[in-house]
């Protein structure tokens, strides 16, 4: 009976992940995961101790620390400076698009991508409108570059952080494997969006409503920006030592919180608490499923059928489907529970392919949803089809290159049986 309850809660939770919200209720993915975890605890299927043992605390702590560092950049006005620098260039829309892709790709490789796109989306909207351009292609470029650039490093996205912690991956090895596909993907992002929009950037600007909400601004503070840069460099240096990453990140976060100018409440408020809660709840639900033993039986069946996801022929379509049905973070948590001991190359493959797959549809990643929601607040509507026209070719081209790269470098095989 307990296994039946676990399977039912798991199925309903991930069904809700795919739908994005509960019908007739204002409950998003985080709320759905929370309700699922409460259902397991309330039915006494799992105890609070079981929930605690299934959570990867080191991942939560490191993710929190990175969000604090990103919040320091936000409070210092660094994102405002980047957006102003992009939109203030005395050049045409092509240069503006290229700068958007390049700057956002670099920022999201080193900082929490959700905070980056949340802060920069309204600034890009205001800058594009001031130049007489349609903001939509620049917003699509912003989020596509965020998903793509975040694939380059171990700290670029929540799923990368989780993979790095679970697999104890090296920061430098991760960079050497994933940076080249990420750079190629950024070129693809620019090329596809330029091809689709370069003749329509001007002349299609939606009318600006007089009651437009004011774009949030953070005055640039040079000293606080330097402090944030020093913190980021210090963190990367600590990654090369034997000190656990989460401990080093927590120390850096503590030093940033002890500020004489920026209140700790401001910094803590910038943390994406719903994302952290989503990690906790999904870990509890998938942990309960793992304790039932069913995932291991399922993985054994896959291996016996020749469908183990340790080769590209299975891993690539699997990540594409899961990312756009459940989202990146739920997908990686689920996969690592069902697949407890993946080879190192598969972890790199998951990081690259899941990040790229997030560009496929508007529901593919949390960053996509954040930008779409922020845009709607400023009277800019990005439709599902409009995003897909750019997202699908970006994803296909980027994933194909990543697959060839992973196979050529020897981290993964295609999985095609030899011809007899």
Q: What is the pLDDT of residues 118-134, one digit of tens each?
A: 889 999 998 888 888 99
User: What is the per-residue pLDDT for 419?
Assistant: 41
pLDDT tops 90 at residue 254:
yes
User: What is the per-residue pLDDT for 212?
Assistant: 65
Q: Which of 7-16, 175-184, 411-420 has the lowest mean pLDDT?
A: 411-420
User: What is the per-residue pLDDT for 203?
Assistant: 54
Q: CA-CA distance, 104 to 117, in Å (whole number)?
A: 8
User: What is the per-residue pLDDT for 299?
Assistant: 73
User: What is the per-residue pLDDT for 196?
Assistant: 93
pTM of the model: 0.88
User: What is the per-residue pLDDT for 418?
Assistant: 45
In terms of phi and psi (left: phi > 0; alpha: psi -120 to 50; beta: otherwise), the region of 380 is beta
Give the mean pLDDT of 254-268.
91
Q: Which of 13-27, 147-161, 176-190, 240-254 has the lowest mean pLDDT?
A: 13-27
Q: What is the pLDDT of residues 138-152, one digit of tens each?
A: 999 999 999 999 999
User: Which phi and psi (to 5°) does residue 195 adopt?
Assistant: -60, -40
Q: Which of 55-59, 138-142, 293-297 has the lowest mean pLDDT?
A: 293-297
State the DSSP code for 151: G
User: What is the per-residue pLDDT for 217?
Assistant: 84
Give the mean pLDDT of 210-230.
85
Please name the residues in contact with 210: beta carbons below 8 A apart, sequence gap of 6 or more: none
Percent helix / strand / coil, the chain, rounded to 5: 70, 0, 30
Higher pLDDT, 2 or 67: 67
pLDDT tops 90 at residue 296:
no
User: What is the per-residue pLDDT for 420?
Assistant: 45
pLDDT tops 70 at residue 210:
no
Q: CA-CA distance, 70 to 111, in Å (whole number)?
A: 6
Q: CA-CA distance, 104 to 81, in Å (whole number)?
A: 13
How would DSSP label each residue in 238-283? Answer: HTTSSS-HHHHHHHHHHHHHS-SSS-HHHHHHTS-HHHHHHHHHHH
Share of the chain above pLDDT 90, in %: 48
Q: Which of 11-20, 150-159, 313-322 has the lowest mean pLDDT?
A: 11-20
What's the pLDDT band for 176 if we cut at 50, 70, 90? very high
Q: CA-CA distance, 165 to 160, in Å (whole number)?
A: 9
Average pLDDT value for the chain? 87
Other CB atoms closer than 10 Å to residue 95's CB: what's the count? Answer: 12
pLDDT tops 90 at residue 193:
yes
Token code pair at residue 281? 């709840």
């Amino acid at each position: 009976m307990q296994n039946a309850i676990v399977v039912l809660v798991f199925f309903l939770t991930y069904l809700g992940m795919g739908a994005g919200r509960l019908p007739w209720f204002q409950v998003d993915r985080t709320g759905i995961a929370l309700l699922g975890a409460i259902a397991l605890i309330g039915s006494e299927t799992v105890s609070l101790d079981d929930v605690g043992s299934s959570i990867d605390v080191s991942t939560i702590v490191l993710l929190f620390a990175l969000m604090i560092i990103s919040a320091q950049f936000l409070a210092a006005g660094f994102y405002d400076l980047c957006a102003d620098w992009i939109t203030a260039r005395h050049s045409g829309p092509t240069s503006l698009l290229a700068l958007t892709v390049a700057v956002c790709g670099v920022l999201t490789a080193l900082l929490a991508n959700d905070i980056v796109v949340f802060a920069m989306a309204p600034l890009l909207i205001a800058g594009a409108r001031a130049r007489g351009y349609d903001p939509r292609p620049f917003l699509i470029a912003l989020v596509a570059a965020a998903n793509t650039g975040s694939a380059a490093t171990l700290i670029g996205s929540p799923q990368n952080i989780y993979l790095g912690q679970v697999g104890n991956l090296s920061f430098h090895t991760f960079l050497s494997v994933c940076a080249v596909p990420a750079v190629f993907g950024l070129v693809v992002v620019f090329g596809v969006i330029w091809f689709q929009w370069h003749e329509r950037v001007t002349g299609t600007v939606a009318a600006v409503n007089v009651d437009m909400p004011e774009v949030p601004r953070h005055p640039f503070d040079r000293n606080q920006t330097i402090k944030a840069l020093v913190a980021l460099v210090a963190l990367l240096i600590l990654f090369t030592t034997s000190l656990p990453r989460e401990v080093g990140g927590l120390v850096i976060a503590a030093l940033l919180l002890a500020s004489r100018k920026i209140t700790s409440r401001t910094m803590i408020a910038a943390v994406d608490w719903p994302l952290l809660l989503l990690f906790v709840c999904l870990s509890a639900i998938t942990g309960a499923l793992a304790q039932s033993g069913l995932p291991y039986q399922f993985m054994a069946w896959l291996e016996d059928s020749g469908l183990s996801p340790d080769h590209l022929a299975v891993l690539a379509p699997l990540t594409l489907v899961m990312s756009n049905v459940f989202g990146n973070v739920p997908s990686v948590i689920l996969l690592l529970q069902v697949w407890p001991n993946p080879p190192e190359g598969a972890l790199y493959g998951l990081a690259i392919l899941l990040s790229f797959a997030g560009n496929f549809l508007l529901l593919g990643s949390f960053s996509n949803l954040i930008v779409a929601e922020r845009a709607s607040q400023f009277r800019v509507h990005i439709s599902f089809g409009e995003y897909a026209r750019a997202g699908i070719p970006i994803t296909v081209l980027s994933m194909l290159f990543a697959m060839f790269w992973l196979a050529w470098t020897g981290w993964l095989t295609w999985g095609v049986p030899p011809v007899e």
